[in-house]
Amino acid sequence: MGDGWDLIIVGGGPAGAAAALGAKRVRPDARVLLLDKSDFPRDKACGDGIAAHGRDELALLGVPGLIDDHRPVPHLEVISPGGARVRATVARPNHVVPRMVFDARLVEAARRRGVEVRRHHVRDLTFAGGHVLLSGGALRGRVVVGADGANSAVRRLIGLPAAPPRHTAIAVRGYADVPAGDDVQHIAMQAEGWPAYAWSFPIGDGTANVGFGMLLPRLRATGLPGRQVLHGRLAELLPHLPARNLRAHHLPLSPGRPKPGAGRVLLAGDAAGLINPLTGEGIYYALLSGRLAGQAAVEADGDPLRAYRRKLREALGRHLRTTDLLARAAQSPGFIDAAIATAARRREVFDLLVDVGLGAGTVPAPLAFAVARRWLAGILSP
């Protein structure tokens, strides 16, 4: 019955391509099929920021030089909702690479590794005889990885719910002209409708990815059309950077304990709700979770989901619980003001915040107490 594969991956974004590369890295002879409803290159609404941790993942996937032709961005500036400001050189630089380029390169790398890439829109999924069937049984996989993004059809088809509104953000991004020498990733938080922030991430070619994002319930509370709010706030916060090619999308934020699949179907990246609730970072999580899912799919004989869940927990478990806790505390803008003010005075705190916001960092208890003390002092002072 149908076309039989060791692994079928639905979605060719960072999570899906990483699953393909990860699987081939541990089992080069595995028959791997990568499906995407679009042809590559294709655009994806994103800030295009690739954290240093994401580059570590590229190395683990066997494509360490994938974005070496893009200039690293050495500086980061953050302005808190109350106006506290920190600007510093990051311990390890980030990159800004348009997704049109980044995703196509990853898919091409997978193709060169022997992965079959097909344009195909997946709309149905059933289980039969220890296999997973797609497209009315025309495609049959021993395991399926659902890496089909925030609106994942695979997640819906295995009966798992989408992120609730309180764990969903919505953001718009565009491109603007900046001086060619601009090498600062800039984040300006906004107290109104908090949590909300605008960014400008210079690409290095005289343009920058600029955008604005906020939580969905806060957007709805304005009672105004989403487009009006998102476009308006972006223009208000970055008036000197008029943006073109604006596109919006929602972000399923990590609830702390992801549900990464069911049966022989594993979910990775946005499909698993893996976006950092503090920053909106999702590319590093997508690469990491995709790699772990791809490896578990072709390595674990009995129960790939169990193996994947364990690896994901080892890699991100404590971190995800930390970001969940911090995201709750950060509902109060004063907490973020205190954290940024502390980071401006203490280098190690700045590095740690970057690691928590863009990587897999956790917060040591003494530091959490120091920030909480500053926060409370702010609340209690007249």
- Site residues (CB under 6 A) for ligand FAD? 10-16, 35-38, 44-49, 121-122, 147-149, 153, 171, 173, 211, 249, 251, 269-271, 275, 280-284, 286
Q: Kindly report the CA angle at 282 between 302 and 225, in degrees rounded to 5? A: 125
Residue 10 or 292: the one with the smaller Cβ distance to ligand FAD is 10
Torsion of CA 55, 181, 354, 196, to 10 degrees: -110
We find the least distance from the C-beta atom of residue 290 to ligand FAD, in angstroms, to be 7
We find the least distance from the C-beta atom of residue 1 to ligand FAD, in angstroms, to be 21
Pairing between β-strand 244-252 and β-strand 261-262 as defined by DSSP bridges? unpaired
The CA-atom distances, in angstroms, between 374 and each of 39, 155, 322, 339 are 51, 42, 19, 8
Fill in the DSSP letter of residue 27.
-
We find the least distance from the C-beta atom of residue 380 to ligand FAD, in angstroms, to be 36
Residue 81 or 273: the one with the smaller Cβ distance to ligand FAD is 273
Residue 281 or 334: the one with the smaller Cβ distance to ligand FAD is 281
Max CA distance (Å), the chain: 73
The region that residue 364 occupies, defined by phi over 0 for left and psi between -120 and 50 for alpha, beta otherwise, is: beta
Residue 215 or 341: the one with the smaller Cβ distance to ligand FAD is 215
Distance of CA 177 to the CA centre of its chain: 25
Q: Where are the beta strands (DSSP E) in 11-79?
A: 32-36, 49-50, 73-79
We find the least distance from the C-beta atom of residue 46 to ligand FAD, in angstroms, to be 4
CA distance linking residue 230 with residue 252, whole number of Å: 17
We find the least distance from the C-beta atom of residue 131 to ligand FAD, in angstroms, to be 19
We find the least distance from the C-beta atom of residue 356 to ligand FAD, in angstroms, to be 14
Of 186, 147, 146, 154, the closest CA to residue 44 belongs to 147
Residue 48 or 337: the one with the smaller Cβ distance to ligand FAD is 48
CA distance linking residue 286 with residue 326, whole number of Å: 21
Residue 135 or 332: the one with the smaller Cβ distance to ligand FAD is 135
How many distinct helices (H) and strands (E) make up the chain?
11, 16
Residue nearest ligand FAD by beta-carbon distance: 282
Give me the amino acid identity at 322.
Answer: T
Residue 206 · residue 180 · CB < 8 Å = yes
Q: Where are the beta strands (DSSP E) in the chain?
A: 3-10, 32-36, 49-50, 73-79, 85-96, 116-119, 125-128, 131-134, 139-146, 168-177, 184-189, 196-202, 207-215, 244-252, 261-262, 265-267
Residue 271 or 341: the one with the smaller Cβ distance to ligand FAD is 271
